Structure 1
Amino acid sequence: MNTKALTAIAAVLVFPVAAMAGPDEDNLVINDELDMTSVTEAQAHLENLDTIYSGWHFRTDETQALQIDDFDNPAMIFVDQAADLFETVDGAAGKSCSSCHDGVESFKGLQASMPKVDAETGKLVVMEDLINACRTEHMEADAWKWSGGDMQGMVALIGLQSRGMPMNVAIDGDAAPYWEQGKEMYYTRYGQLELSCANCHEDNWGNMIRADHLSQGMINGFPTYRLKQAKLISRHNRFRGCIRDTRAETFAEGSDEFRALELYVASRGNGLSVETPAVRQ
């Protein structure tokens, strides 16, 4: 059977005359006071979308309710644990995070601009890179595992400081080649099913795929507490899972490929509020 025939069969299997459910029209307000921008006009670099929506609008009422109140948000347990770690001395240098940083509040605005290019090295870095650099270079402590609980709790704690601020990831200048690499990955078909990120999150957002409601794949709420896994999930974990579901050999968490993809996908959400930590199904 030829490649075109296999692709056609895969499309029928994965997107069978899907039911259109669309995003809801609810307003995302957290703790009855923080009014989030969860729907906005797409920026010019998005060629195929006019309006962008937070993934919150594609979840059930029950899941949405968990995110709008910090007392109900299960991710806050991990954020609280990270706040303790921020003050905990670790490593041969006898330092904690707070030894160098003037409170976690000093990270306000950082998440809204991540990923970004490091001015000294010219390399694209994500939040996990910054955290492990602090641990290994300044604290002389062991690096944390990418999707480990300590790491993603700290990523969420730092991201929380920017909650409500608009995503504003730079895609020009030194970031441009990384952004182009990520864009190419987004539209590349992977695996036996020959599906790209765009096939789900651009061509079929709003549709139901089996029991799941396809969103536009925005990552402005990551790390997110995923009910299915009952823990905080990193961006690269979801990238890996999506590519794996195409029946392809996926890239590793922390790979240069996923850093570039993170930059491109983050830029698709420019203008949406940082929601970290979000709750998803």
Structure 2
Amino acid sequence: MQRQSHMRLAATVFSLALAGGAMADPVEDTLVIETDEGQIELVTTTAAPAHLQDVMDTIWSGWHFREDETRDLQRDDFDNPGMVFADRGLDSWNAAQGKNGESCAGCHQGPESMKGLRAVLPRVDEKTGKLMILENYVNACVTERMGLEAWGTTGDKMKDMLALISMQSRGEVVNVAIDGPAAPFWEQGKEIYYTRYGQLEMACANCHEDQQGKMIRADHLSQGQINGFPTYRLKDAGMVSAQQRFVGCVRDTRAETFKAGSDEFKALELYVASRGNGLSIEGVSVRH
């Protein structure tokens, strides 16, 4: 009886949130970014990857679901507020901050050495067999090579570095592996994506698959793609990582959430990233 009551509550709340909300298809637009080195045209919509074609034909970056003013902020690096955080990441990259003066640049040279990395993460580490997100790699360097305490998963220094490293793959196509050693993690992430959580008994798929394109209050529901993360979120006036967003989404269902960087959310990140295979990494995006 209690479960039925919760399900009725979830259905009522969700239907009220969507009541009167007209369909609002993703905006037909092209994202060309002005940079110091010229223009970059990004792939923001393409055919759905094979494993999604039973539920949708086309995938869209969240950029297409934002207002004109928000989309325009991402068209020029000088207007994009997230670039400040990538610049801070560059300062951190070059800083001698290890116990013995180690720096990221000391091992890796320029940040351009990270080109392509963001597009294939999460991935299974060949040596350890563990599923790794970008934060894991950063913290491995911080602790094992610099002799420092881990930066954590969602701290400012970590997000600055995520912004910098992600920028190096801007324009690269998302291509995360879901077979081989990644398969069990991908299956775990898929299960989490379709599992209902919290008092509202809602799953990721309820918003980002079943109701994509609809308005929930003043928000236009996207497909929940993460090719743009980390993103400058206007609502938060700061950078938000995919792991942070997962925490926020689960909390919105009135549930006890997994921790950022947990095995569960790493598996979820792999699955959600795979739903965007074929879209461009946006580096530092701007969202509502």
> What is the TM-score normalised by the length of structure 1?
0.97
From 173, 181, 188, the equivalent of 1:174 is 181
Cα distance in structure 2, aligned partners of 1:109 and 1:225: 21
Is structure 2 residue 40 aligned with structure 1 residue 38?
no
Cα distance in structure 2, aligned partners of 1:77 and 1:109: 22
Is structure 2 residue 279 aligned with structure 1 residue 279?
no
Residue 264 of structure 1 aligns with which residue?
A: 271
Residue 27 of structure 2 aligns with which residue?
A: 24
Q: Give the match's secondary structure for 2:59.
A: strand
- Give the unaligned 5+ runs of structure 2: none
1:104-115 correspondence runs (5 A) = 104-115=111-122
Could you list the runs of 4 or more consecutive aligned residues of structure 1 that deviate by over 6 angstroms after TM superposition? Answer: none
Cα distance in structure 2, aligned partners of 1:11 and 1:226: 24
Deviation at 1:91, TM superposition (A): 2.3
Cα distance in structure 1, aligned partners of 2:252 and 2:90: 34
Cα distance in structure 1, aligned partners of 2:195 and 2:185: 15
Q: Among the aligned pairs, what percent are the same residue?
A: 60
Is structure 2 residue 247 aligned with structure 1 residue 240?
yes
Cα 1:86/1:185, change in 2 over 3 Å:
same
Cα distance in structure 2, aligned partners of 1:172 and 1:149: 33
- In 1, are the aligned partners of 2:139 and 2:152 still within 8 Å (CA)? no
Residue 204 of structure 2 aligns with which residue?
A: 197
Deviation at 1:17, TM superposition (A): 4.6
Q: Give the match's secondary structure for 1:45.
A: helix
Q: Give the match's secondary structure for 1:243.
A: helix
Q: Give the match's secondary structure for 1:63.
A: helix
1:1-281 correspondence runs (5 A) = 2-3=4-5, 4-31=7-34, 33-46=39-52, 47-281=54-288
Cα 1:13/1:193, change in 2 over 3 Å:
farther
Can you list the C-alpha shifts for 1:122-167, whole angstroms capped at 9, x where unaligned?
0000000000000100011221132111111101100110100110
- In 2, are the aligned partners of 1:54 and 1:272 still within 8 Å (CA)? yes
- Give the unaligned 5+ runs of structure 1: none
Cα distance in structure 2, aligned partners of 1:194 and 1:36: 36
- In 1, are the aligned partners of 2:174 and 2:280 still within 8 Å (CA)? yes
Q: Give the match's secondary structure for 2:101.
A: coil
Deviation at 1:67, TM superposition (A): 0.6
Q: Which residue identity lines up with residue 19 of structure 1 in the other structure?
A: A
Cα distance in structure 2, aligned partners of 1:58 and 1:174: 34
Cα distance in structure 2, aligned partners of 1:263 and 1:91: 30
- In 2, are the aligned partners of 1:91 and 1:142 still within 8 Å (CA)? no
- In 2, are the aligned partners of 1:93 and 1:138 still within 8 Å (CA)? no
Deviation at 1:5, TM superposition (A): 3.0
Cα distance in structure 2, aligned partners of 1:15 and 1:260: 30
What count of residue pairs does the alignment treat as equivalent? 281
Q: CA RMSD in A?
A: 1.2
